[in-house]
Structure 1
Amino acid sequence: MLEPLYTAAEMREAEEAYPGYPETADELMERAGTAVALETMRAFPRARTFGVVCGGGSNGGDGRIAARVLREAGHVAEETDDPEGYDVVVDALFGTGFRGAPRAEAAGVIERINACGAPVVAVDLPSGVNATTGEVEGVAVEASLTVTFHGRKVGLVVAPGRFHAGRVVVAEIGLEPRETRAHRATDALLRAVPRRAPRDSKYTAGTVLVVGGSPGMTGAAVLTAMGALRADAGYVTLAVPRASLQVVESLALEPVKRAFDWETAADTIVADAGRAGAVALGPGLGREPAAQALVGELLLRLDGPVVVDADALFGLEPFARDAPTVLTPHAGELARLLDVDAAWVSAHRLEAAERCAERYAAVVLLKGADTVVQAPGAGPVVCDLGPPSLATAGSGDVLTGVIAAFLAKGLDAPEAAAAAAVAHGIAAASVPEQAGLLASDVAAALPGALS
């Protein structure tokens, strides 16, 4: 259900475990370079001239073998530092051991590669990308295709590195699989989600309580409720401030509605939560002092699983809960939780998610093209199945509902968060018209994704 993602150290261990290593290292390099050449010819069948930019390490060795195999196939393939004028450029400058920012001379070569106007094939990963973290501290190659060996590297899946990789092909070179700390979620994860059985009722199929929907923001709470229902929850209650009740009644048919007054909100919600398998707290709740106070009190008093999203994250302080808790920030919200700049979060997504998980003792789902699910003390799970069209208002509210539904069905918090991100991404990708995708389209597509 989870695909291993390799760090530089884990990849080195896999190579060192190869029989006869290091004497047999040339065998691995021959397979790697040949794979690069074959995948390059397959991807660009009309290309005739190839400029191969090689570094001094094993990555450069892979590139030189690729050039030789291309020549043996009848093409012009030259090792060069000047990538201008070729049909395709092969980037074999840096490998998995690269960290930091390229030095001035190498940076100049990378800039020339990016400016050459030809498609670029990266060997193992684009030069300038940190294989272990996905971080990019200086200039990095913008590849059209990356041919990586044995398994995906973390840096090919986590932003900003993922944005440099283009299409990724994994080439087997004869290494044995190894345990990795980081993983990539696959659609097989949805097999863990319980389906309704013949003996289930609407109450045993998963009950969710959604708390939010202040005036002017009722849509967020409604989308969360519909996300939970479309993710196969059997019963959803939508608790909103009394001033929003009439609007919510007109927007959503299936959820049960509950109005609360701010003065007695906590007691009302705690009573309703006693019958719920999970609570989704925050969509459209507002950021007024009364709302922030309510969030703090509920996190202390609720004894079941809670998803903390949107406005409930605003001003959130560390809390102590024994029950499963999932925080669902985007980069800006996580930056506020850590008191750092949002740009830092975007540049250090794994570190940011891990810091947040440890600080709040909760599972953190950091939204993005590479949604990161991080539990305290565990390795990250990266969910990258969502299309760019998911960058639309309300899609995160739907995701919160899906997480709550999966928690209510009995999944543990990390699994519920990762499975929800997978279902959310598959649902969005299944909508025929990607331009103008609405959050409600994603909710409507969830049953098909789960099937």
Structure 2
Amino acid sequence: MQRRYRIDDQHTLACAADYNRADSPALHLVNLFQDPAMKTAVRSQALFCAADLRTIETVAADQPLMQRAGLAAADLATSLCRLQGASLLILAGPGNNGGDAFVAARHLRERRFAVHLVFAGEISRLPDDAAAAYRRFIDDGGSLLDGIPSGQRWSLIIDGLFGIGLQRPVSGLYADLVATANALAARDRCPLLALDCPSGLDADTGKLCGTTIRASHTITFIAGKPGLYTGDGPDYCGAISVAALDLDAERLAQPTARTIGSDLFADWLRSRARNSHKGSHGSAGILGGASSMVGAAFLAGRAALRLGSGRVYVGLIDRQAPAIDPLQPELMLRPPDSLLATGLTALACGPGMGAGDDARVLLERACGLDIPLLLDADALNLLAGEKRLQEVLAERGQRSSPTLLTPHPTEAARLLACDTAAVQADRGAAARGLASRYQAVVVLKGCGSIVATPDGRWFVNTTGNPGLASAGTGDVLSGLTVALLAQGWPALEALLAAVHLHGTAADQAVAGGCGPIGLTAGEIIASARACFNRWIV
């Protein structure tokens, strides 16, 4: 039979073989990019919101998309469960996602699996394509169950309850089915495969809508969706595969966003000329390090130095600060006034900066410099609370001096005058709102960090792991970014590369046995240098 789809992620099949080993827990499959070797070469992919996907489906209405989707799901299910005659539990919902499940169930029955299909809906209210898939399933000898059989052990569970069109929280009967499926997958240590999107997850935002399927694998159709890769998406999607269903989505609609891949900044990954010197590679400045927070500035400076900035100057606000970094004596420490008078090619403000009057005055002076400027941590909190700083930052935009903001969700909420929950409810919208309001290139940090530009473009990062949830990792990101800016990288490409590298370095560290629990910010720096040099080679 000719296959009418393409599954873009070969990593899923490798994971599937490993999954069925007795010593491989379900949590082994955390996300699409778990293999560090893949992360170093990953390309960006287009992401589409539900509305744009509906447009694509309308344009391609003459094609058998449901048949292709169900077949793609059946093939992936077969690779995940290779025991002929194994018992499979399939949950089919009241819409087209249920139709995909009917098609998959029919193919799996033909392959001699023991299919137990629970339908939660009304046959008379199924959409036309889903109704046709149901009739074909029944005509081929399939049958429906009203509820999940008790006492049965499962080799695979398939979630086909709700796809990307979910408009309300999962509750009632559906919530019970979702909770039971999650519990059974954990009990039987079997794969739980979600069709298109785990039921209960908002595919546009990554927000949970009531009780949600916690999948070990998700096969998503036509193209990726932003919510699978940010917010709660990575924790609930497992290993993600994209089945294109014989469509070229980018030819049919403008992508909503993209994942970050090395192709987006490859033109700036250049080997150095032999005939160069430290002055050829820029002078990065770090402004921060108030009392008891000098370490934050040191971490940023060390990261900037090890990512290739020719010179790194650190201006420490603490009047009792040391005169030298004993672990990195190459850093040139300066009083803050002296730092701002140095011929820098890029400046990062904020690591350990504090919120005192000295910090505010220095930040206003820094915003007046006509060089690329990155604001992080305390600099962002000062910006959120000081109208004068906001005015000075706006003047930078009129001079076309690049500005970059690197907030975590709580800092973003302060900058947007909202609460953290609102930021997390729609991370893409929050990042775009920040970029537009402050006319800056922005990264909203967190699970699935989002980079956004003032013109509305946005990108979702897919590297990184929970080891980054530790003190100082944001300072390291600032240092990596300002190093690239100092070396002449454009603002967008510098931030895309630094964010992607930051996550990749953490993943490489974990792959080498360092973390994720207990991974420290300082350990990421050496890993980032090694990864960056591999990218260039």
TM-score using structure 1 length:
0.91
1:242 CA displacement: 5.9
Q: From 85, 99, 108, give the equivalent of 1:70.
A: 108
* Secondary structure of 1:204 counterpart: helix
User: SS state of the match for residue 209, structure 2?
Assistant: coil
Q: Map 1:248-287 to 2 at 5 A.
A: 248-260=324-336, 265=337, 268-272=338-342, 275-287=343-355
Deviation of 1:136 (Å): 2.1
Separation in 2, partners of 1:248, 1:439: 20
> Where do 1:219-238 residues align within 5 Å?
219-238=295-314
Number of residue pairs the alignment of both structures matches: 437
Does residue 99 (structure 1) correspond to residue 141 (structure 2)? The answer is no
**Cα separation, 2, equivalents of 1:361 and 1:31:** 43
Q: Deviations over 1:200-248 (max 9, x none)?
A: 3212212211111123111111111111112121111111136244264
Aligned match of 1:187: 262
**Match of 1:314, SS?**
helix
SS at match of 1:97: coil
> Could you give the per-residue CA deviations for residues 146-186 of structure 1, whole angstroms, max 9, x where no partner exists?
01123211121121233211111112310013130201002
Q: Distance in 1 between matches of 2:419 and 2:81?
A: 41
Identity of aligned residues (%): 35
Letter in 1 for 2:499: A
User: Is 2:162–2:199's contact at 8 Å kept on the other side of the alignment?
Assistant: yes
Tell me the SS of whatever aligns to 1:315: helix
Contact 2:48 2:225 (C-alpha < 8 Å) held by counterparts:
yes
* Code of the aligned partner of 2:514: Q
> Following the alignment from structure 1 to structure 2, what is the Cα–Cα distance between the partners of residues 68 and 192?
48
The answer to whether the 8 A contact 2:265-2:493 is kept is no
Deviation at residue 420 of structure 1 after TM alignment: 0.4
The Cα shift of 1:324 comes to 0.8
Q: CA RMSD in A?
A: 2.0
Contact 2:436 2:456 in 1 (8 A): no
The amino acid that maps onto 2:54 is R
What is the deviation of 1:191? 2.1
The equivalences for 1:41-440 within 5 A come to 41-46=78-83, 48-81=86-119, 82-83=147-148, 85=152, 86-102=154-170, 104-117=172-185, 118=188, 119-178=191-250, 179-195=254-270, 196-241=272-317, 243-246=319-322, 248-260=324-336, 265=337, 268-272=338-342, 275-299=343-367, 301-317=368-384, 318=390, 319-320=393-394, 321-322=396-397, 323-431=401-509, 432-435=512-515, 436-440=518-522
Distance in 2, matches of 1:382 and 1:8, equals 16
In the aligned structure 2, how far is the partner of 1:356 from the partner of 1:106? 37
Alpha-carbon spacing, 1:12–1:382, altered in 2? closer, same or farther (3 Å)? same
SS in 1 for 2:278: coil
Deviation, 1:434, is 2.9
The equivalent residue for 1:15 is: 57
User: Is the 8 Å Cα contact of residues 160 and 346 (structure 1) preserved in structure 2?
Assistant: no
> Greater CA deviation, 337-346 or 411-420?
337-346
Distance in 2 (CA, whole Å) between partners of 1:164 and 1:314 is 32
Residue aligned with 2:281, SS: coil
Look up the SS of the partner of 1:316 in the other structure: helix
Q: What is the alpha-carbon distance in structure 2 between the residues aligned to residue 132 and residue 348 of structure 1? A: 8
**What displacement does 1:357 show?**
1.8
Q: CA deviation at 1:363?
A: 1.6
Q: Which runs of 5+ in 2 are unaligned?
A: 1-42, 120-146, 385-389
SS at match of 1:246: coil
Q: Distance in 2 between matches of 1:249 and 1:153?
A: 45
State the one-letter code of the partner of 1:9: A
Question: Over residues 95-124 of structure 1, what are the superposed CA-to-partner deviations in whole Å (9 max), with x where a residue is unaligned?
Answer: 222233235343333233233345421001
Per-residue CA deviations over 1:300-354 (Å, capped at 9, x if unaligned) read: x111111101111123143311211111111121122223222332232112222
Give unpaired runs (5+ residues) of structure 1: none
Residue 429 to residue 161, structure 1, CA distance change in 2 (3 Å): closer
Deviation, structure 1 residue 399: 0.7
Cα distance in structure 1, aligned partners of 2:491 and 2:148: 49
CA contact (8 A) 2:88 2:113 kept: yes
Pick closer, same or farther for the CA change 1:83–1:159 going to 2, 3 Å: farther
Verify: 1:29 aligned to 2:66, yes or no. yes
> In structure 2, how many angstroms separate the alpha carbons of the residues matched to 1:193 and 1:238?
26
What one-letter code is carried by the residue in structure 1 that aligns with 2:107? V
2:510 counterpart of 1:446: no
Aligned counterpart for 1:4 among listed residues 19, 25, 46: 46
